[in-house]
């Protein structure tokens, strides 16, 4: 489970440029070099983060807007060239910037070329119900141009793979979901308790989102935050848990592995606000919930 939705205030980037591949007989046609760009700025109390990914030719852009514990993110296709980046966010807006890279732009197989860039053009975006409005003709950021086509090993190392977490021996994870990919919308909430002996600044965390697919976008709006003691009380052995997260959440929820004639139940008044929309309920019979020992561990 990839949680793309924690935005850092400090961003570091790398850069690669591709070199032509030739044979002794004739020039060999090669695919365009893999390019990525990243922008970050503040706008009317929000942190705005725009990032792109090239996964073996599959280009996508990720736009996140964050205010306090609340966030909204939008993933769409993107077009990137040596001097232009363009992405359309359905009826919400569009980014169309030309940019001028600074620094070295010719990497090798064993190192990155990296640099900053100045972007100019159009970036307009209005969040749902005008929760945020962006209209910027310029921005500063960074860009990446990945290793030449002949650097097969470098490409394999960059290739994205499905996230398959392993779990720790301590703590607990509770996850509840409603909806499905075939319905193109749903709700998800996950609580982590790292356990009393874990070396962590917070006892746990919660990630909750309302997600949907619309206008060619993957959209997620929700709340992410650390949790203190007493918020997530549980007994994995008994198969029960109670959640009382602080604001901006409201209400509480209870999980019982055998609550409905031996079937799990997830009940309560738990709800969260979403940017540009009405609060949504995060418990009830529409959810499928489970509780198990341990929390996901990064490999």
pLDDT given for residue 178 in this prediction: 96
Check whether 239 has a pLDDT greater than 90.
Answer: yes
Query: What counts of helices (H) and strands (E) characterise the chain?
Result: 1, 21
Mean pLDDT of 260-286: 95
pLDDT tens figures, 75-107: 999 999 889 999 999 999 999 999 988 866 565
Tens digit of each residue's pLDDT (9 = 90 or more) over 271-280? 999 999 999 9
Higher pLDDT, 64 or 3: 64
Question: Which residues lie across from 234 on neighbouring strands?
Answer: 241
Q: Is the pLDDT of residue 153 over 60?
A: no
Q: How far is CA 100 from the centre of its chain?
A: 27
H/E element holding 156? helix 152-158
Here the tokens at position 171 are 């703590």
Whole-angstrom distance, CA of residue 92 vs CA of residue 96: 14
- From the number of C-beta atoms within 10 Å of its C-beta (0-12, 13-18, 19+), residue 61 rates as buried
CATH class of 35-158: mainly beta
What's the pLDDT tens digit per position in 166-211?
Answer: 777 788 999 999 998 788 999 999 999 988 766 666 788 999 999 9
Q: What does the domain layout of the chain look like in residue ranges?
A: 35-158, 166-297
pLDDT at 183: 83
pTM, to two decimals: 0.81
Residue 30 has pLDDT above 70, yes or no: no
What number of CA atoms fall less than 13 Å from residue 143's CA on the CB side? 28
pLDDT at 160: 53
Mean per-residue pLDDT of the chain: 82
Measure the CA–CA gap between 66 and 275, rounded to whole angstroms. 9
With contact defined as beta carbons under 8 Å apart, do 74 and 276 qualify?
no
């Amino acid at each position: 489970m990839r949680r793309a939705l924690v935005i850092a205030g400090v961003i570091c980037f790398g850069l690669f440029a591709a070199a032509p591949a030739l044979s002794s007989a004739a020039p060999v046609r090669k695919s365009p070099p893999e390019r990525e760009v990243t922008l970050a700025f503040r706008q009317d109390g929000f942190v705005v983060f725009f990032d792109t990914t090239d996964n073996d030719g599959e280009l996508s852009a990720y736009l996140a807007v964050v205010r306090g514990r609340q966030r909204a993110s939008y993933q769409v296709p993107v077009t990137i060239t040596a001097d232009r980046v363009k992405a359309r966010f359905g009826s919400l807006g569009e980014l169309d910037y030309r940019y001028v890279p600074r620094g070295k732009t010719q990497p090798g197989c064993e190192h990155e070329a990296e640099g900053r860039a100045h972007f100019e053009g159009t970036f307009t975006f209005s969040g749902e119900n005008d929760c945020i409005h962006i209209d910027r003709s310029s921005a500063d950021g960074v860009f990446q141009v990945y290793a030449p086509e002949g650097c097969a090993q470098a490409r394999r190392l960059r290739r994205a793979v499905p996230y398959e977490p392993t779990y720790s021996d301590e703590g607990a994870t509770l996850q509840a979901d409603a909806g499905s990919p075939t319905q193109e919308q749903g709700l998800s909430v996950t609580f982590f308790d790292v356990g009393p002996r874990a070396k962590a600044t917070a006892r746990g965390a919660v990630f909750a989102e309302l997600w949907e697919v619309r206008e060619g976008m993957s959209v997620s709006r929700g709340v992410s935050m650390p949790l203190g003691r007493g918020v997530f009380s549980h007994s994995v052995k008994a198969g029960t848990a109670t959640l009382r997260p602080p604001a901006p959440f409201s209400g509480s929820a209870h999980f019982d592995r055998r609550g409905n004639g031996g079937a799990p139940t997830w009940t309560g008044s738990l709800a969260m606000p979403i940017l540009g929309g009405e609060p949504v309920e995060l418990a009830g019979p529409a959810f499928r919930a489970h509780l198990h020992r341990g929390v996901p561990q990064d490999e």
